[in-house]
Amino acid sequence: MAGMTTLGEFIVQQQHAFPHATGELSSLISAIRLAAKIVNREINRAGLSPDIIGAAGQENVQGEAQQKLDVFANDKFKAALEARGEVCGIASEEEDEYVAFSGERGRNAKYVVLMDPLDGSSNIDVNVSVGTIFSIFRRITPVGEPVSAADFLQPGRNQVAAGYVIYGSSTMLVYTTGNGVNGFTYDPTLGVFALSHPNLTMPKDGKMYSINEGNYIKFPTGVKKYLKYCQENDEATSRPYTSRYIGSLVSDFHRNMLKGGIYMYPTTQSAPQGKLRLLYECNPMAFIAEQAGGSASDGYSRIMDIIPTELHQRVPYFVGSSNMVADAERFMEEFKD
C-alpha cells in the first residue's frame, strides 16, 4: 500500500482542493463506503450460506421478485446513511415510497440519496458480478422541515455526486462529485478502498455493444437498424462490433467505461416506457458517463434533462462512448416508429 491513496485520504484531499466540497458530503460518501464493505462481505459468502442467496419470497413495487441480498443491501445502506446524520431521506428501488429520516438530525440534513442497493441481484446465485448504484442531491425543501417528494423528483443535472460499487473479481467503488471520475479498489487484507483508477475517462469510440438481443423482435425500428450497423463489416469504423451483455447494468457499464462501448435498454413492446429506473439507475450512471467524457440518452435527448414525475419512473436508456451514443440517436431519429 506504500504510495497508495485510500478513499478516506482522497476525500480529505478533495475537501482541501475544492472550496465547495463540504464535510457533510464527505461524511456521506464515507457512510456509503462502510455499507459497501458490509455488502461485499456477504456477497463473498453467498455460496456458503442458504440464508443469503435465493428469493426473499416477496416483490418490490415494480412487481419484481426480491432476492434476499436485495433486502439485506437495502437495509445496510439505509442504516449507514441514517446513522451519519447527513441525509434527510432516501429513495430506493426496493422501497415503495421514499423514506424520511426522523428526528432533528434528519430534518436538518442537507442531502437526499437515491439508490439501487443491489443491481443485477439475480446473478448472485451463479457467481456473476453485481453492483450498487447511488445518486446524491441537495434537498430543495427548507432545512428543518420534513423531506418531501419534491426533494427526490429532481432532474439528474442537479446531482452533486453519484457512483457505483461493482462486486466482481475485485470490488471497486467509482464515483464523481462533478470534478471527474475516480475508482477505488478494495483491499480486503487491509479493509480499505485504495485509489487504483484516477481520472477515469471513457473512450469516445468503442468496439462493443451491450443489449439483450433476445428481445430483438420487440425493439423499435431505430434500434434494429443500429444493431445491423454494429454488425456490418467496415474497416474504416472498426466494425463489426462485438456483442457483450452481462445483464447487470453496473458490470456492463464498467466494462464499457474502461474499454469503450455502448449499453442499451430501449423500449420494447412489453415495456413501452423502457425497463431501467430513471432515478436509481439512469441518472447516476449518466452523471458518471458525462464526467468521464461519455454520454447518456433516452434515444433522442439527454437523460439528465428529464424532469421526473414519479419515484419509480422508467425510461429507455443508451449510455457509453459519446460517438456510439450519437450514432444510436441518429438511427433512432431517422427510423422513428
Contacts of 51 (CB under 8 A, 6+ apart): 68
Q: Which residue has the cell 437498424?
A: 225
C-beta of residue 27 within 8 angstroms of C-beta of residue 8? no
Which residues, in sequence order, are CB contacts of 49 under 8 Å at separation 6+? none
Instruction: Give the span between the Cα atoms of 203 and 232, in whole angstroms.
Output: 21
Distance CA(206)–CA(253), nearest Å, equals 12
Detail the residues annotated as belonging to a binding site for Mg(2+): 93, 116, 118-119, 281
Mark residue 128 as left, alpha or beta (left: phi above 0; alpha: psi -120 to 50; beta: remaining): beta
From 81, 135, 153, 139, select the one nearest 110 (Cα to Cα): 139
H or E element, residue 58: strand 55-59
Distance CA 203, CA 23 (A): 33
111: phi then psi, degrees, rounded to nearest 5: -125, 155
Residues placed in the known binding site: 93, 116, 118-122, 212, 245, 275, 281
Q: What is the DSSP string of 131-189?
A: EEEEEEEE--SPTTSPP-HHHHS--GGG-SEEEEEEESSSEEEEEESSS-EEEEEEETT
Annotated binding site for substrate: 119-122, 212, 245, 275
Q: From the CB of residue 309, how many other CB atoms can be counted at a distance below 10 Å?
A: 8
**Sign of the CA dihedral with 147 first, then 150, 156, and 160 last:** negative
Q: Answer whether 165's CB lies under 8 Å from 142's CB.
A: no
CB 72 within 8 A of CB 98: no
